[in-house]
Structure 1
C-alpha cells in the first residue's frame, strides 16, 4: 500500500492546477487519471488572458509547437437570423487545443502521476480513503469531470433536479482544400443561440483546426438541433461540406443550478466534478482553475480534513462565484428577462451581444483574476 496526504482523481486543468499549487506545501500528492496524456478532450477550447495570467503561462513559450489562436472578434446570432460581428479592438481570448493545453499543465506537476489507470474502487479504511486497494490518503479530491468517481461518493444533492447540459462536438485538422473554402476565421469565433434559448452552437477555427459543436439543456433534441445547425452552416459556406461523421459527446452541470455537495469528511470536489461551469456560457476552464487554487489554499492550512474544516473551501467558492440558485428555475444560458419576444431583437444588437453576451457572460471581464499560481 502506498500512502499520501492527498490523492487527486483527474489530471485535467483542475487536478493539475491543484497539484502544482500544493508543490512546496510539504503534502505528499498523487494524481490519478484514467487516460494517458496527451489525450483528446471534447471542448470548444478557448481561455481568457485572466486564465493564462493566473496559471503563470508564458505565451511565447506556450505557443512554441502549440496552438494559441488570438481572438479579437465574435460573430453572434440567433439561428435563423443574420448574425452581428463585434470587433473588440484587442485580443480578448485565445483558442487552444485541449490535448495540448492539458498536457502542458500536467507536465509542470512534479508530484507522482498514475495515468491510464481508471479508479475501480474507493473504500473507507480507518479514517483514510483507499483507491484500487493500492493507494491510501486521508483526503481525496474529485477533479475528474461530471462523471468523476469521487463525485459519485457525495451524490447529486438533496433535490436531484440538477440542470445537466449535454453537448456534441468535433475538432479536426482541415485538409488544404477544406481550409481554403472554410469561411470561419480564426480570430472570430461564432456563437449561434437556439431559438428556444435552451442552448447554443459554435464554430471555432484555430489555425487549420476546426471545432464545431452544440450544447443543450437536458439533452433535449440535441442531435436534431446539431444536424440542423451543421447543415445550415454548410449551406451558407461557413464550414466545409465534408466533415468527420463522428461527433463526441460530453456533459456538465451549470453552477447556478447544481446541487452537488462540494465537501464531506476527507472529500473535496473541484472543477466540473463540483458542477462549477458558468451558467450563461457553460465555460468550465476558468472555474476549474480558480476552484483548484481556492481548494489548495484551504488544504494547505487545514488542521484536519473533516467536513467542517473543508467547508472553508465551500465558503470560498460561494464568495467567488456567488450563492447557487435555490428555486432551480428551468433554463440555463439566458436570464428570464431575456427570455421574452425581444430576445431576437437583442441578439441583433451590437451593444447587447458585445457588452452582455461576450464581455460579461463569456469572457467575465468584470471579474478580476485570482492571484497567479506559484
Structure 2
C-alpha cells in the first residue's frame, strides 16, 4: 500500500494551495480528485483583490479588474458602487484552478485524478483512504497517510462517514454562459421574483460573453430560466452559448472541522462567506491555519483530535465573527418582502448613509458595513430582529 505524510482530497484552489505549501515544507503529499486536471467549476469567478494581495494567486487567470458593481432592486432601482482601487478580479476559473494545481505538481505533489473517494478511516497504521478509479475498469485503490485533509466541495456523505455533524443547510448555485449585449459591469439582482432568499448575477467575461447565474434553495433551473427570460435580461441575450451547470453550496460552517487524523478545510467545512457564498478567499485563509496545525502535529508525532483542535480555534478567531454576523443578517433578510428591499434602496440613497456605507464596505469583509447599516436610525422601518441589531452594536463596541 502506498504511504504518504498527508493526503489531500480535492484539487480545487484550497486543496491545491495547501498541497503546495505542505510540499514546500518537505512533506510527502498525495492530492486526490475525482475530476480531471482542469475540472469544471460552477462559479461567478469574482475573487476579491485582497486575496491576490495576501496569497500568491495566478494573475495569468485574471480577465479584468472589477472597480464597480451595480445592484438592481425588485422594481428595477439601480444602485452603483464604484471604487478608485480594484475591489476584485474576474478570473477564468479553469485557468485559475489549473495554475494552482500545476504549482503544486511542480513542488513534488503526487496527483491522482479521476479518483472518487469511497471512505476515510483511522486504522492501527494511520489514516487509510479508499478510492475508486473512474477509468481502467473502476479499480479500487487504498492509500495510507499520517493525516488526511478534506478540501472537497459540499460533501455531506464523507462528513457523515467520519462521524461529523452536517451542514446547517445548503443552497444551489447555478450558472450558464450567454452571448449578450450591453452588459458592461457586474450586475446583481435581488427580489423574491428573481431568486427567493438568494440573488442573481450577470458577470461579463469578455467578447460579449456573460456568466448568468443565481443562488437559491430549490428549483434552481426553473429560477435561472425565469431570470434569463425576464424583461431585464432576455432583450440583451444574443445567443445561449454554454450548458447550464449547478452545484450545492453549504450555507455555513460545520460545528466541528477536525477529528482523529483529519482536518476539513474550505467549502467542505462550510467556510464560505455568509452573504455571497464565495469560498475561495476564506478557504485559503483556513488552509494557512491548517498548515500551521499540521506542522505542529508532525513535530509532536501526534495526530489525535486534541492536537488538531487548535485548527478550529485559529480559523474561528479570524473569520468566525464575520460568518456569524453575516449568517444572522442573511436569516433575517429571508423575511424581507420585495417592498422592503425597494425601501432599502431608497434608504441607501438618503440621509448621507450611502457614502458612509461605501467607506465601510470591503469586498471580502462585511461585518463593519452590516454594523453601520443595521444601527442606522432609518433602519427602524425595516423588519430586522433586535438580536441582530444588538449583535452589531456589540461588535462595534469591541472595535472602539
Note the C-alpha offset of 1:161. Answer: 7.0
Q: Who is 1:165 aligned against?
A: 171
Q: Who is 1:153 aligned against?
A: 161
Gaps of 5+ in 1: 368-374
Match status 1:139 vs 2:147: yes
- Measured at CA, do residues 201 and 332 of structure 1 come closer, stay the same or move farther in structure 2, by a change above 3 Å? farther
Note the C-alpha offset of 1:122. Answer: 3.1
Bigger Rg, which one: 2
- Measured at CA, do residues 94 and 366 of structure 1 come closer, stay the same or move farther in structure 2, by a change above 3 Å? farther
More helix per residue: 2
- Measured at CA, do residues 130 and 151 of structure 1 come closer, stay the same or move farther in structure 2, by a change above 3 Å? same
Deviations 1:12-46 (A, max 9, x none): 11101111222332321111111112221100011
In 2, the alpha carbon distance for the partners of 1:232 and 1:355 equals 33
Q: Who is 1:200 aligned against?
A: 199
Deviations 1:224-277 (A, max 9, x none): 33222111256563x41431474211111123xx43520010111001100111
227-236 or 197-206, which deviates more:
227-236
**8 Å contact from structure 1 (residues 254, 332) kept in 2:** no
**8 Å contact from structure 1 (residues 140, 150) kept in 2:** no
**8 Å contact from structure 2 (residues 322, 365) kept in 1:** no
User: What is the total number of aligned residue pairs between the two structures?
Assistant: 345
* SS of match in other structure, 1:333: helix
**8 Å contact from structure 1 (residues 161, 328) kept in 2:** no
**8 Å contact from structure 1 (residues 31, 114) kept in 2:** yes
**8 Å contact from structure 1 (residues 78, 195) kept in 2:** no
More strand per residue: 2
**8 Å contact from structure 2 (residues 274, 326) kept in 1:** no
Q: Who is 1:371 aligned against?
A: none
- Measured at CA, do residues 202 and 156 of structure 1 come closer, stay the same or move farther in structure 2, by a change above 3 Å? farther
Match status 1:191 vs 2:188: yes
In 1, the alpha carbon distance for the partners of 2:167 and 2:22 equals 34
Deviations 1:104-123 (A, max 9, x none): 11111121111122223434
Q: Who is 2:269 aligned against?
A: 274
Match status 1:106 vs 2:101: yes
Note the C-alpha offset of 1:342. Answer: 3.9
* SS of match in other structure, 2:118: coil
**8 Å contact from structure 1 (residues 154, 260) kept in 2:** no
In 1, the alpha carbon distance for the partners of 2:360 and 2:323 equals 22
**8 Å contact from structure 1 (residues 130, 137) kept in 2:** yes
- TM value normalised by structure 2: 0.77
**8 Å contact from structure 2 (residues 77, 342) kept in 1:** no
In 1, the alpha carbon distance for the partners of 2:174 and 2:48 equals 23
Gaps of 5+ in 2: 131-140, 369-400
* SS of match in other structure, 1:322: helix
Pairwise CA RMSD: 3.1
Match status 1:48 vs 2:54: no
In 2, the alpha carbon distance for the partners of 1:316 and 1:356 equals 29
